[in-house]
Chains A and B, each alone.
Chain A
Amino acid sequence: MKTLLWRSNIRTLQHHPWQWVLALFGVMMGVAVVVSIDLAETGALRSFERATETLFGRATHRISSPFGVPDSLYVTLRRAGFFALKPVLEGYVEVEGSGKRLKLVGIDPLAELRFAPPWLEQSNAPPEVWRRLLLEPGAVLLDRETGDSLGMVPGHHFKVWVGDRERALILIGWLDTGARSPQATLIADMATAQEALGTLGRLSAIDAMITSNEDLVALKALLPGTVELSSREAGSVSVRQMTDAFYTNLTALSLLALLVGAFLIFNIVGFMVVQRLRLFGILRVLGLTRQEIRRQVLLEALILGLAGSLLGLLAGILLGQLMLTLLARTLDQLYFPLPDARLSWSPWMLGKAILLGLGATLAAAWKPASEAARVQPVTVLIRSAAEQRVAGTGIWLAASGVALLLAGLVFLLLTQGLEVGFAALILMVSGGALCVPFLLLGIMKGLQWLGGLLLGAAGRMPPRAVAASLSRTGVAAAALMVAIATTIGMTLMMHSFRDSVEGWLERRLDADLYVYQPGSGASGRAELDISLGDCIARLEEVAGVGSVRYLRLTTDRGFVRINAYDLSPSAFATFELVEQAVDDPWQAFQSQEAVIVSEAYARLNRVRAGQRIRLSTPKGDQEFLVAAVYVDYNAGRGIISMSRRTYDRYWDDSGVSTFWIYLQPGSDPENAIEKIQAFVPGQGLEMTDNRELMALSMGIFDQAFAVTAVLRWLATLVAFVGVFSALLALQLERTHELGVLRALGLTPGQLWRLVMAETGLLGGVAGLLAVPMGVLIGWVLTHVVHQRAFGWTLSFNLEWQPLLQGVLMALVAGLGAGVYPAWRMARTLPAEALRCE
């Protein structure tokens, strides 16, 4: 660009620094949100992969079973000539006093060496430490960072809780293997770990190094039916598949924040173009070509985008740390623990963020730049021509907006993909934005008539001013509408989701008491014996007992969760069936040949009611009829539910994960609890009533939505700043016009009222227009996006509070934006204001 034009632009910037600062804020926040989510997601995934790699070493396969593996199998396999094996024992303990959850891993150092896991290979622990680890009861190693955070030093005696049991351990040294050491993980000798976790004689799994297909076949032949052999990749693939939708959803929501940011850029750049129409007109007369003007505007936007993206990158890294903490907590609750979650970035990721910021800026600036390039030299002095053109094109814009809305809707109905769903949503939001200038003009004309009727000229002026500057107010109102609608939509979605989960839990948690035993497994439950149910059922306080056994099968296609229920017809009725293939699903469920599957399972595995699925059971592969598909909001890859009778037929397992109890009317739950506890003395059962369990579940839900909640607040913040900046810009740009009014005799008080009425009107109307769009966004996020991401059917709750909040936010921002210009104008001499162009 020419030097003098540059200089002119820089001076424009100096005259209106707040405009650029707010535009920068828009780009920065949009990019920061995307970067933070990207960093947090990648950090979480890398952390998982690091943990896997650190502990797996060279293992190629894992031998496991939902019930653990007897350590006799390890001996058997070694005797059969498979020496490249190592026993694996993993569980979770809680450090007394700190509440910190650590992973406890039992190892056989000699077997471990063969697998050369990075943490062991790089360890510089002296031989004495290894000797003590093998021989000293309760001896453990820990990474220095975690140890420091717990205030531990080698030689420190401490206690851990495993369920309700307390165990004494001693820290004998640091792992000290640099960046590759497993974080927040206690390493113990196998015997110590088994003793601490209460799993004497059992292992979590056996890792194997299999190099040939023959060995694989031979090994498979030696495994009992209850034991599965899965490749190392299967675990990673499973985790990826399981969390894919979760991440996609977060990424899409963060992109929605960027979209809001892009609309703000569109508003600011558009505003600055309209503000300089006269200047562009003069430059066109002086010989600047259309292309040069377009280039000038785009270059300005590019610089804005680049600066905003770089700032966004920095802010994103800071925000990413918060997001990662929240994400790690969410993943811990929903999927798997992440003890070592660190931010992780690559040059590509950072480059991508800058490209995204620049792309959004350029896309947003393209239309205003083209508008600037279209400025006719002949119309240099006719601003009203621009206004008339905007007013005239309003109907066409609205027509294209409706077309986009319909196209988005058709897109939504005809496609299935999650990404396509979001694309359709963006199409609809853009369509809605295009309708705004036309609607704004209509509303202002109506208000002009009404204001005139009620207040005379004073009532007509504010709406007339908004309508007369449609080239500016139309764009601002469209941007505000999108910003507010996005926050309304996200709030409606979150509330609908919460209400759906609450309703589901209320329906499903119909028993009075729930009995389980906290354990060391990742699910946090230890197994109870099925015979305990019979004992409970005989109590006089008890009217009925049901039970469920949770089972997670690892296959080469990923995890499959099986719930085996022993329940009454009335408890079965609490399952909300969304699809059924038989007239009597209860009969089918009890028939031992049929299962019911959760919506998530049906969607991820493309299964419908009436189809058959094949399951690998200890008694060989079995086919089951999918009798029905039911509503379930558990995270993961879905659930296959079968009756206990079916389960018992194929699995040789007498374990139960949870019993639920219906009490006799009028009986005292405390009595029942005491009696149940007496059946298993010293076992420390956990017994909660449905209210407590519901509160616990909703707590987990809220935790799971922590990241989304932060995203919503960020979008709200961007929206608020957007509303504020757009209206502030509009008013400050009217300095000359307001100066004329002051010169004509408008008192400072009248000026205050005029300015506040205009900004309040525009903010309020944008807020009102955001209501239907917000409802649409909320509906699409609730009904379509969650369905496509997780397979969950949610009921959409149209609450009035988020709608009112949105309108009020727009109104408050509007009124707030009027304060400074009104104050400034009221204090400025009319002569000064008249000098301003």
Chain B
Amino acid sequence: MPVVLLRRLAKSYLEAGHRHWIFQGIDLQVNLGEFVVLLGRSGSGKSTLLNLISGIDVPDEGEVVVCDQRLNQLSERGRTLFRRRRIGFVFQQFNLIPTLTVLENVLLPLELNGQLDASSRKRSLALMVRLGLGKRLDAFPDRLSGGEQQRVAIGRALAHDPDLILADEPTGNLDLETGRDVLQLLDQLVREKGRTLIMATHSQEVVGWADRILAIRRGRFEPMLP
């Protein structure tokens, strides 16, 4: 069952008066429970693709369908509300809210979706324990190490149980060992919940975890063996 469907997708940017095409006419299908890695060098369009899938950005041409919803048919507000409910994000820079504690950061998506109650709170606490942050719940992000911050970000991405998790270079700011721990956790949790994960990275380290690897070169996908 496809969770993400891209049809004849095209995206370009205007740079110094010249149109620079990131993608032109690409197609992709990502199925439920799949862990797909987008591999490519900096500037290859990995982040742009994640932005298009999440509805943060809109394509010049083509269609983006996520969880049976055609994002092109939604307004900006509609895409935002869709993202809020159905997608979880993990960033390279963590992007935690500095004025919220660890637990509050994780609870934020639940609250935004109106799902914050005793049971969801309990589930989130269990998730944080699982992520090894059970004793840092009241800490603020600036007091955490990079690995801890990324684990909070994973907790935040999964707390509201989204169908699709998008991760943009989640280990890019971490050392090798910490990065490996984070990946393991992310992989475990996503697979346990049967969710779909699309991860953009330039790190070959990640490929061992993926079900499918797509290398982006010159605006096209080139499948690689895991």
Contacts and interface: CB of A to CB of B under 8 A. Distances in A.
Interface string B80-112: 110111000100010111111000100111011
B83 A8 contact: no
B77 A290 contact: yes
Contacts of A2: 108, 111-112
A3 interface: yes
A302 B102 CA distance: 29
Interface stretch (A278-286, A345-353, A596-604, A782-790): A278-286
B99 A286 contact: no
A614 interface: no
Contacts of B54: 285
Contact of B109 (A287, A380, A835, A837): A287
Interface string B99-137: 110001001110111000000000000000000000000
Contact of B89 (A278, A286, A289): A286
B97 A289 contact: no
- Which of B57, B85, B98, B113 gathers the greatest number of chain A CB atoms within 10 Å? B98
Contact of B97 (A3, A15, A282, A381): A282
B139 to A, nearest CB: 13
A282 B95 contact: yes
Contacts of A835: 142
B108 A4 contact: yes
Contacts of A285: 54, 56, 83, 89, 95
Contact of A287 (B76, B81, B104): B81
Nearest to B76: A290
Nearest to B108: A4
Contacts of A279: 97-99
Interface residues of B, number: 28
Contacts of B51: 377-378
Given A4-B107, A378-B57, A11 B99 contact: yes
Given A282-B95, A287-B112, A4 B100 contact: yes
Tell which of A7, A286, A377 has the most Cβ of chain B within 10 Å: A286
A286 B108 contact: yes
Contact of A837 (B98, B100, B104): B98
Interface in A626-659: none
A505 to B, nearest CB: 63
A286 B57 contact: no
A279 to B, nearest CB: 6
A4 B104 contact: yes
A282 B109 CA distance: 12
A615 interface: no
Contacts of B85: 287
A291 B77 contact: yes
Interface in A280-333: 282-291
Contacts of A3: 111
A282 B98 CA distance: 11
A12 interface: yes
A287 B100 contact: no
A452 B155 CA distance: 50
A750 B191 CA distance: 55
A278 B96 CA distance: 10
A7 B93 CA distance: 23
A824 to B, nearest CB: 17
Nearest to A3: B111
A287 B56 contact: no
A15 B99 contact: yes
B100 A284 contact: no
Contacts of A8: 97, 99-100, 104
* Among A283, A287, A289: residue with most chain B CB under 10 A: A287
Contacts of B142: 835-837
Contact of B80 (A12, A288, A380): A288
A783 B34 CA distance: 76
A380 B95 contact: yes
A738 B156 CA distance: 31
Contacts of A283: 97
22 contacts: A3-B111, A4-B104, A4-B107, A4-B111, A5-B108, A5-B111, A11-B99, A278-B95, A285-B83, A286-B84, A286-B89, A287-B80, A287-B81, A287-B109, A288-B80, A289-B76, A377-B51, A377-B56, A378-B56, A378-B57, A380-B95, A835-B142
9 closest cross-chain pairs (CB), A and B: A287-B84, A11-B99, A8-B99, A377-B56, A282-B95, A289-B80, A287-B83, A2-B111, A289-B77
Interface of B: 51, 54, 56-57, 76-77, 80-81, 83-85, 89, 93, 95-100, 104, 107-109, 111-113, 142, 156
